[in-house]
Amino acid sequence: MTITLLGSYNGVELIRHELKRFGLMGFNSSPTSAPFEGIVLVKGSLRVAYDSEVEIVGPGAVVTMHPVKGDVCIIAMQDAEFIYISSAPIFDSYRRGVERFHQMATEIAQKDGYTASHCERIRKYSVLIGCELGLSARELLSLSCGALFHDIGKTQIPDEILRKPGRLTPEEFDIMKMHTIYGRDMMSSPSNPFLHIGSTVAEQHHERYDGSGYPYGLKGEEIYLPAAIVAVVDSYDAMTSKRPYQRPKSKQEAIDEIRALRGKLYDPRVVDAFLKVVSTLDDL
């Protein structure tokens, strides 16, 4: 996402946004929310979810909210450019938040031996499945943030365990499992207020539909749906990625494995949505 302040006067700001396909911006109502927010779409297509209402808009569309009363999640369905109008000055804190967000995502990915583009790919795949499942604005915001930072807790796992080339011992695996709890705690810390919404995804992304996951052994629909989505996408990505200790599976082998585990490890609703959209994942 690229943001540029086009002009401001008396607290009113015009901010240009460029969002790549499946890029996302969101906000929720708070005592500090601007009393008026508006968007004019210049190029591309946006999916605007406002609480549980969804609207797809094209160039020339004007979307206004005054005041913002609920959660808003805006997703670019194609590369998009829009002007965002706020009646309160938000640009500086907003830009700092966006920069910090991306910097943290890069640091986490590098710690785990991945790249920032790997995390962004998991986020986009997850959002695509979330849209297919008709998640609410709040669930989509939680999914997007949680998908990007789901392994943030690994920054607290010792390198000799995290990067061990062979199989972990049971004791080492017990330590590794703690990354879910560490992740939840880091994301719900007051020092990271913009990550709070994704904390349940970090906590539950290794839970499995049949109760065989961790940290709690939650089952079926006890598992938060955005976390169940990240579970499928993260597994698919791990199966198809090159790792030091395993040959990557072909995309078709990975898809067949996910399908075979429908209703066992993975939520059937998520697997069905995944199978519907998987052919478009290559384009992202």
**What are the residues binding Fe ion (CB under 5 A)?**
151
Q: How far is the CB of 151 from Fe ion (least distance, A)?
A: 5
Q: What is the distance between the alpha carbons of residues 172 and 163, in angstroms, rounded to a whole number? A: 12
248 contacts 242 by C-beta, under 8 angstroms:
yes
Q: How far is the CB of 199 from Fe ion (least distance, A)?
A: 14
CB-nearer residue toward Fe ion: 139 or 151: 151
CB-nearer residue toward Fe ion: 52 or 117: 117
Q: How far is the CB of 120 from Fe ion (least distance, A)?
A: 16
Q: How far is the CB of 218 from Fe ion (least distance, A)?
A: 15
CB-nearer residue toward Fe ion: 151 or 207: 151
Q: How far is the CB of 176 from Fe ion (least distance, A)?
A: 9
Q: Is the dihedral of CA 269, 137, 27, 18 positive or negative?
A: positive
Phi, psi of 136 (to 5 degrees): -70, 170
Q: How far is the CB of 157 from Fe ion (least distance, A)?
A: 10
CB-nearer residue toward Fe ion: 37 or 151: 151
Phi-psi region of 113 (alpha: psi -120 to 50; beta: other; left: phi over 0): left
Q: How far is the CB of 266 from Fe ion (least distance, A)?
A: 15
CB-nearer residue toward Fe ion: 13 or 151: 151
How deeply is 99 buried, as exposed, middle or buried, from its count of CB atoms within 10 A (0-12, 13-18, 19+)?
Answer: exposed
Task: Kindly give the pairing relationship between strand 12-19 and strand 24-27.
Answer: unpaired
CB-nearer residue toward Fe ion: 131 or 157: 157
Q: Which residue of this chain has its Cβ atom nearest to Fe ion in the complex?
A: 151
Q: How far is the CB of 186 from Fe ion (least distance, A)?
A: 13
Closest CA to 202 of 184, 222, 226: 184
CB-nearer residue toward Fe ion: 74 or 202: 202
CB-nearer residue toward Fe ion: 19 or 225: 225
